[in-house]
Structure 1
Amino acid sequence: MSDIRYDLIHDEYALIAPERLHRPDCYRYLGSMEDKKSDDCPFCPGHEAMTPPEIYAMRDNAPNTPGWKTRVVPNLYKAVQIEAAWESREVGPYLEWEGLGAHEIIVDTPRHLLRMDAWEVVEYANWLRTMRLRVNDLRNDIRLVYISLFKNHGHYGAATQAHPHTQLIALPVVPRRKLDQYRRAYRYFLQRRHNIFESVLNQERNDAVRIVGESEHFLVFCPFASTFAFEVAVLAKGEGIASIGDLDDAKMDDLAQTLKRAVDAMYGELGDFDFNLLINTPPMQKNVDTEEFFDAIPQMWRFGLRIVPRLFRMGGFELGSGVHINPVPPEEAAQLLRDRWEGS
């Protein structure tokens, strides 16, 4: 039997339809990306001149040379640019802005690794610390209100470079879909005096069928209304942790180990797979759109991330309705991943 499920956090529906798993050509085997180190990979050590000058690097030597642990550079094909004017204009009934913003590439590790399960825990920690630093640095630019942090991996995850990297896009506006989500979270907090994420954590603990694993500071689970098969969420358990910028070093280290175990479990179950990794970041500035809830962000919001495998095709129904069809119930996915987690 199918279920139509409501996603409390994202205000979306998902159609859990196990029968769809057996339709012809449902599962797409993605295979491996090229596993040889490319001589022309711009993100490999020794090729620093192939990228714009670095914004930041975790290193103990001179900039734009080998010897780094992580490296941040402007995206060569940037969607927005920090040099643009901070102004808007009306075009008839329309409103547009100059393409102001930041579009950065975080090179996650110097190693040309094609699977995250090959990362060491210290590489996860270095990657997380670099993202924390960039978020906290960009927070000082009062023009930038919203940051999107995401990793595209593999062809079906829309990656264009094989070398492990993450993208950061900062904008002077909050996307409307995200703004609706923040406002809903604020109303929920006002009505219940606890945040929406705490309700999700409590329900997942109570049901105990979608939990993959747990650490001191984070819960790993397959969301109740997972929009993609084997989707995994990692959510901070403590209050006052709204953003990656709020994580201290102890929580960073805990998250690095937690992510390592979660990613290893996913690769153990799925093999080589394409995915998107999305990091949940609240608005950075108070403006006309965010002033209603901005001061309540530490109480109403909670840091988390999602790993979304891209295993199945999307069709017209998903694009037209916004409702995703997921053929793998999250309870079944969690059981399989939990077995891998506990065996690690």
Structure 2
Amino acid sequence: MSEMRYDLLHDEYALIAPERLHKPDCYKSPVRTEETKKRCPFCEGHESMTPPEIFALRENEPNTPGWKTRVVPNLYKAVQIEAAWESREAGIYQAWEGLGAHEVIIDTPRHLTRMDRWSHDEYFNWLFTLRSRINDLKNDFRLVYFSIFKNHGHYAGATQSHPHTQLIALPVVPKRKLDQLERAHRYFLERRHNIFESVLSQELHDRERIVIESDHFVVLCPFASTFAFEVVILGRENTESLIALNDAKLRDLSDVLKQTVEALYVELGDFDFNITFNTPPVQKNIVTEPFFETLPQMWRFALRIVPRLFRLGGFEFGSGVHINPVPPEDAAYLLRSVVEGKA
């Protein structure tokens, strides 16, 4: 029997429909179009194959081997920092130049196509680099919203097999994200605690969808998971974003993230996925002013891992409602069993 569920955090619906798991050709195998190390532009020793680096964790000269992480401009950038923030009218329409920043974070010098093979230090260095880039870019007061995302595999939108992450900074807050923030603000004003705290409290009470608990984070499969084996890592404290995490919390996050990714690989094999961070706006402007000062109380760090196991169809695109054939309670049980089996 299927069940319609409401996602309190994202204000969306999901259909949990286990019967769909038996649909012919339901699960799609990953497509791997791997570059060899000899021609991979992200491998150590191939620094000349990318634009000059913006940032790197290294102790030697820029644009040479010997780095731990490396950040370069996206060669096919969607936005660019050199653009002017000017508008133009085209009849009833309005457009702006594509101002922003589009960077590629090369996660590790090793040509590892599976994230479960990363070391603890590689996870920490990756997160440290992401935090560093936001801290730097937020000094440009034109940039308001940061999207950090990792596409792994063909079905998740990746075009390079070497581990990498992308950062796009925009001068506006996307409508979908703004709706989330405004809902979270209303929720906080009405209840005097944030929506994330309510979700975490319920999950810790039910204990059906919890995968891992640490000092600072809880890993869970959301009640209204829109994708099979979807996982969220939610902060226990009101730390509103990645840049508010100190090194100790970053180490803790690295540990639970490594355990989570390894458990997903045990259950799913080699799979495609997206990782996103729920980064809030970093500047106060006319749009963010109503809630900006309350962000530390109303918002909370979260990281989302979405396995891309099943095809999306017309119903999902037309209605905005996803059909998930794996109940989150089942997914959490399987992942938790893997983690506890390792303990």
Unaligned 5+ residue runs, structure 2?
none
In the alignment, which residue of structure 2 is the partner of 1:149? 148
TM-score (norm 1): 0.98
Give the letter for the 2:203 counterpart.
E
TM-score (norm 2): 0.98
In the alignment, which residue of structure 1 is the partner of 2:246? 248
In the alignment, which residue of structure 1 is the partner of 2:170? 171
TM-fit CA distance, 1:33: 5.5
In the alignment, which residue of structure 1 is the partner of 2:280? 282
Give the Cα–Cα distance (whole angstroms) in 2 for the partners of residues 244 and 138 of structure 1. Answer: 14
* Aligned-partner SS, 2:326: coil
Are 1:32 and 1:272, in contact at CA under 8 Å, matched by a contact in 2?
A: no
TM-fit CA distance, 1:341: 1.1
Give the Cα–Cα distance (whole angstroms) in 1 for the partners of residues 32 and 327 of structure 2. Answer: 26
In the alignment, which residue of structure 2 is the partner of 1:263? 261
1:101-160 Cα shifts (integer Å, max 9, x gaps): 000000000000000000001000000000000011111110000000000000001100
Unaligned 5+ residue runs, structure 1?
none
* Aligned-partner SS, 1:220: strand
Give the Cα–Cα distance (whole angstroms) in 1 for the partners of residues 296 and 253 of structure 2. Answer: 19
Give the letter for the 1:324 counterpart.
H
In the alignment, which residue of structure 1 is the partner of 2:53? 54
| Amino-acid identity (%) | 71
In the alignment, which residue of structure 2 is the partner of 1:225? 224
1:208-250 Cα shifts (integer Å, max 9, x gaps): 00001111100000000000000000011012x1110000000
In the alignment, which residue of structure 2 is the partner of 1:238? 237
Give the Cα–Cα distance (whole angstroms) in 1 for the partners of residues 206 and 31 of structure 2. Answer: 35
CA RMSD, Structure 1 to Structure 2 (Å): 1.0
TM-fit CA distance, 1:86: 1.5
Give the Cα–Cα distance (whole angstroms) in 2 for the partners of residues 29 and 172 of structure 1. Answer: 38
Give the Cα–Cα distance (whole angstroms) in 2 for the partners of residues 132 and 30 of structure 1. Answer: 30
Are 1:33 and 1:114, in contact at CA under 8 Å, matched by a contact in 2?
A: no
In the alignment, which residue of structure 1 is the partner of 2:296? 298
Q: How many residues end up aligned between the 2 structures?
A: 342
Give the Cα–Cα distance (whole angstroms) in 1 for the partners of residues 337 and 122 of structure 2. Answer: 25
* 1:134 correspondence with 2:133: yes
1:247-287 Cα shifts (integer Å, max 9, x gaps): 00000000001100000000011000000001110001111
Q: 1:115 to 1:33 in 2, by over 3 A?
A: farther
Give the Cα–Cα distance (whole angstroms) in 1 for the partners of residues 92 and 142 of structure 2. Answer: 24
Give the Cα–Cα distance (whole angstroms) in 1 for the partners of residues 262 and 134 of structure 2. Answer: 27
Counting only pairs closer than 5 Å after superposition, residues 199-218 of structure 1 correspond to structure 2 as 199-218=198-217
Are 2:53 and 2:72, in contact at CA under 8 Å, matched by a contact in 1?
A: yes
Give the Cα–Cα distance (whole angstroms) in 1 for the partners of residues 291 and 94 of structure 2. Answer: 24
* 1:343 correspondence with 2:336: no
Runs of 4+ in 1 over 3 A off after TM superposition: 31-34
Are 1:150 and 1:278, in contact at CA under 8 Å, matched by a contact in 2?
A: yes
